[in-house]
Structure formats: C-alpha cells, structure tokens
A = this chain, B = another copy of it.
Amino acid sequence: MAQESSRMRRPRADGERNRVRLIEAAKHAFAEKGAAVSLEHIAREADVSIATLYRHFPTRDELISAVYQQEVTALIESADQLMTDREPAAALREWLMLFVEFLDAKHGMAEAMDTLIGGPEPLYSRTPQRLDMPVKALVARGVATGVFRDDFEPHDLLRALSGVAHVRPYENWKWSAGQMVDILLKGMQSRPPSGGTGIH
C-alpha cells in the first residue's frame, strides 16, 4: 500500500515549478493561437520537454481545464452569489452575460468549450464539466417559481452561446451574443397569462 498522508514525501519543487510554467505558457498559446495549438509548441514556450508536458497533463483536455480552472471557479461562485441576490430571470441573465464575457476573454477558445461544457466526444472529454452545475441550478430556480418552462436542457443554453461565439472574427460578435442571451431568456419563459404563442 502507498504511504498514508502523514508519511508522504513533499512534492518536488521542480515539478511544481514546471507545472506552473506549463499552465502559463498554455494560457498564452491558447489566447494567441487557439485551442488547437500544438502541445510541442507549448512545451517549447515553457522551456520544458514534451515528455514533461505529457507527464503533467496526459491529455489536452486536462491542460485546458487547468488553464481555465480559475475562471471557471469564479463563474461558479458568481452563480451562487447571483442566486441569493437576484430573482431567477435576472440571475440567469446576468450569469449568461458573464459566460459571454468569459468566452470573449478567451479569444480563440471557442473550440475548447467542448472541454468545459461537454463536447462531441464523450471519451475525449472526461474532465468533469463543472459548468453543468451552476446553469442547472439557475434554471431550476426559475422553473420552481414558474417563470421558466421546464421542457428543455439547461446545458443547451451554454452550447448555443458557445455556437454563437464561433463568430469571434466579426467585430460585433459580443453584441450578437448579448442579443442571443436576450432571445434565449425570452424564449424560455413559461407562457405569459395572456395567451400562448400558438405557433406549433
């Protein structure tokens, strides 16, 4: 059996140093060249061998997750905050706008969203999809109070926005994304008392 916690060796300093350097290099590389940037390039940039990169991050996804862990955590925390401070619809709206900000800040990372919100390859993306929780909770609250319909998948809000984010090159993509948030929120309202939209 492996040693228990008390008897464990302290992690080596060089290992931790290199881990940090890799994350830093990856953050720059992702921002500059997109999520598909070569891992060897990242390793070179971090002044570390390619084998070391693989030792720390066996898959590309794990590196991506590590790079954005901080931002994702912040996003999750602001969801908690908004849920206590705002009404369901306003909370979700603001949170989705934060998500858009996040997408905006990560220039060229739209493709990597697969990693963070769940993408096409179930085996490729095994990292826990941490953004699943907050969006689900935000929506559930609105469903509970009857302002949101419940016949849709909360996750798809993120996927839709991430789809819109693919248009980054255009100058006004962020405006577009903001409008999309508005459309989504309007569209997911449960029918107003006056009458249904009737379109079927």
Contacts and interface: CB of A to CB of B under 8 A. Distances in A.
Copies of this chain, tallied across the complex: 2
Interface stretch (A4-12, A57-65, A159-167): A159-167
A188 B185 CA distance: 10
A192 to B, nearest CB: 6
Interface in A15-64: 34
Given A93-B199, A196-B198, A120 B155 contact: no
A67 interface: no
Contact of A118 (B120, B151, B167): B167
A111 interface: yes
Interface residues of A, number: 49
A153 B176 contact: yes
A84 B168 CA distance: 34
A108 interface: yes
Contacts of A180: 152, 156, 160
A122 to B, nearest CB: 5
A196 B185 CA distance: 13
B156 A34 contact: no
Contacts of A197: 186, 189, 192-193, 197-199
A197 B195 CA distance: 9
Nearest to A175: B153
A24 to B, nearest CB: 24
Nearest to A111: B120
A103 to B, nearest CB: 11
Contacts of A111: 120
